[in-house]
Amino acid sequence: METQKSLAYLRAKKKVETLKEFYSHLVVFILINTGIILVSANVFNAQEIDFKQWSNYVTLFFWGIGLVFHALYVLYVMKFKNNFLTKWEEKKIKQFLEEEQP
């Protein structure tokens, strides 16, 4: 029974870590891309401010694709994780625990 609680705790901890990593990725994405767009649009220069050029948004676009895949992974881990994988993980954990016991 205690093993089940510790396994549930470890799974919950993994989910929290996965979600925390995604939130960190999202914050960095927003901060860095805001800076890149403002610098590329000449907001800090004496030149004309131009938000219309595609080159201002290239990093945002491609990094955004990576962020979408990261979000899909988090959604998979949080909601749709396959029971087969969960059962396999539990079986392997039990196997390794039994092997370590004298």
Report the alpha-carbon distance of residue 22 to residue 20 in Å, rounded.
Answer: 5
Position with higher pLDDT, 33 vs 15:
33
The answer to whether the Cα torsion of 12, 18, 19, 21 is positive or negative is positive
Residue 71: pLDDT over 80: yes
Confidence of residue 102 (pLDDT cuts 50, 70, 90): low
pLDDT tens readout for residues 17-49: 989 999 999 999 999 999 988 888 888 787 887
Sequence-separated (6 or more) residues with CB below 8 Å from residue 15: 77, 78
For the entire predicted model, the pTM comes to 0.69
Looking at residue 62, its pLDDT comes to: 95
| Domain ranges (residues) in the chain | 15-100
Q: Residue 82: pLDDT above 80?
A: no
